[in-house]
Amino acid sequence: MGELEFDWPVMDTELSAYSQALTAEADIFLYGRKVLDIMSGYWPHAEEHSTHDHDLAFAPVWRAHRKVVVSTTLEKADWNTRVINTDVIKELTALKNSGARLLLFGGSSLAAHLTEHGLIGEYQIFVHPVVLGGGTPVFRTPQQRIHLTLAETRTFDSRVVLLRHTRTE
């Protein structure tokens, strides 16, 4: 299995509806560079590769939605994507303070960096019924203890489990 393969998530009708509602609430989709590479390698032409209802519904949403990618190596990106490569905390804080609702789709280094700076208020972790092994830990060496409050647990039809926690200040 290659490092950037993303063919393992289980997406049923119930989880797809939840995902669509979640993305509809976001003003900006936020990515690290590796995750953006995966997304931009699939969603621009998803209809050519899939007949799955979720893919057909999400592809036009992804193409049209505002996106931000945090990267030290990328200078520009397509598909309505702004690249932030300096002053990351300042830039993302400004977006949040402007009222923009950001949805981080992934990037373990980015998630850890934003957590350490207090920019993530809610964590939604989806546990899929597959064992992959390997991967990059999100919190390798947290600089401080971060207290969370369990806000919700939910099991979807596919047996995917949502663990939703909010940050306790």
pLDDT in tens, 70-114: 999 999 999 999 999 999 999 999 999 999 999 999 788 899 899
- Asked if residue 1 belongs to a domain, the reply is no
- Asked if residue 6 belongs to a domain, the reply is no
Residue of 92, 34, 35, 30 lying closest to 65 (CA atoms) = 30
Give the pLDDT of residue 6. Answer: 65
Name the residue type at position 56: L
How many domains does the chain contain in total? Answer: 1
Residue 136 predicted with pLDDT over 90: no
Give the pLDDT of residue 10. Answer: 79
Give the pLDDT of residue 89. Answer: 97
Residue span of the structural domain in which 61 resides:
13-167
What CATH number is associated with residue 40?
A: 3.40.430.10
